[in-house]
C-alpha cells in the first residue's frame, strides 16, 4: 500500500518535471483607457489578454469607477459598408494565445467614468473569467490625443 502511494507520487513528480517550457499564465497587460472627449459618450478600454494553461472565456470587465461597461466587437455592415459595433457576452481566450482588445477591433466601452481615474490618471478594472479567476488591473488613463487626463494636468500644473 505504502509502496503503491510512493509510486504514484513519483509518477506525478515525473509528469510535473517532464512538462517542457514555462506554463502559460492567464494575464491582462497593456491596459489603457481612452477618455471620450464628450462626457456623456462612453470611453474606450483597450488591453491584451494572455491565455493561460487552458481555454477560458472572458465574461466581464468592470470597474468601480464606471456606471456600466460592455464588451464590443467591430464589424462591417455587408449592406451599407458602415462600421458597426456589437456587444459580446463572452470572448474565448485560447490557451497560450494572446487576444488583443485594440483600436478598430474588440474593445470594452465604459460609461460614466468618474473623477477618480481622471484625477489619478489610473483606473482599476476587474476581469472575470469562466474558470472563476478574477484579475485586477490598474490601467493608464489618457485623453484621445494620448496625453494625461485634463483633470490630472490641472492638479499637477
The footprint of Cu ion (CB under 5 A) covers 72, 85, 109
Taking the least distance from each CB to Cu ion, the nearer of 25 and 86 is 86
Taking alpha carbons only, the member of 48, 98, 103, 50 closest to residue 72 is 103
CB 120 within 8 A of CB 141: yes
Decide the pairing of beta strands 83-88 and 68-76: antiparallel
Least distance CB 156 / Cu ion (angstroms): 30
Least distance CB 154 / Cu ion (angstroms): 28
Least distance CB 45 / Cu ion (angstroms): 10
SS3 1: coil
Looking at the DSSP bridge assignments, the partners of residue 57 are: 92
Taking the least distance from each CB to Cu ion, the nearer of 13 and 83 is 83
Nearest-CB residue to Cu ion?
72
Q: How far apart are CA 66 and CA 62, in angstroms?
A: 8
Least distance CB 16 / Cu ion (angstroms): 43
Taking the least distance from each CB to Cu ion, the nearer of 103 and 138 is 103
The gap from C-alpha 24 to its chain's centroid, in whole angstroms, comes to 16
Q: How far apart are CA 84 and CA 76, in angstroms?
A: 6
Taking the least distance from each CB to Cu ion, the nearer of 72 and 152 is 72
Amino acid at each position: 500500500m505504502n509502496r503503491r502511494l510512493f509510486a504514484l507520487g513519483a509518477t506525478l513528480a515525473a509528469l510535473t518535471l517532464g512538462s517542457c517550457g514555462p506554463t502559460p499564465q492567464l494575464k491582462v497587460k497593456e491596459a489603457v483607457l481612452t477618455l471620450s472627449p464628450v462626457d456623456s459618450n462612453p470611453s474606450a478600454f483597450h488591453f491584451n489578454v494572455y491565455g493561460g494553461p487552458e481555454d477560458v472565456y472572458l465574461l466581464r470587465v468592470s470597474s468601480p469607477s464606471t456606471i456600466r461597461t460592455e464588451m464590443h466587437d467591430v464589424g462591417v455592415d455587408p449592406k451599407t459598408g458602415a462600421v458597426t459595433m456589437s456587444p459580446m457576452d463572452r470572448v474565448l481566450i485560447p490557451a497560450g494565445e494572446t487576444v488583443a482588445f485594440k483600436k478598430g477591433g474588440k474593445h470594452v466601452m465604459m460609461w460614466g467614468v468618474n473623477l477618480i481615474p481622471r484625477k489619478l490618471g489610473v483606473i482599476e478594472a476587474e476581469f472575470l473569467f469562466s474558470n472563476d479567476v478574477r484579475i485586477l488591473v490598474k490601467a493608464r488613463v489618457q485623453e484621445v490625443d494620448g496625453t494625461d487626463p485634463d483633470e490630472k494636468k490641472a492638479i499637477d500644473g
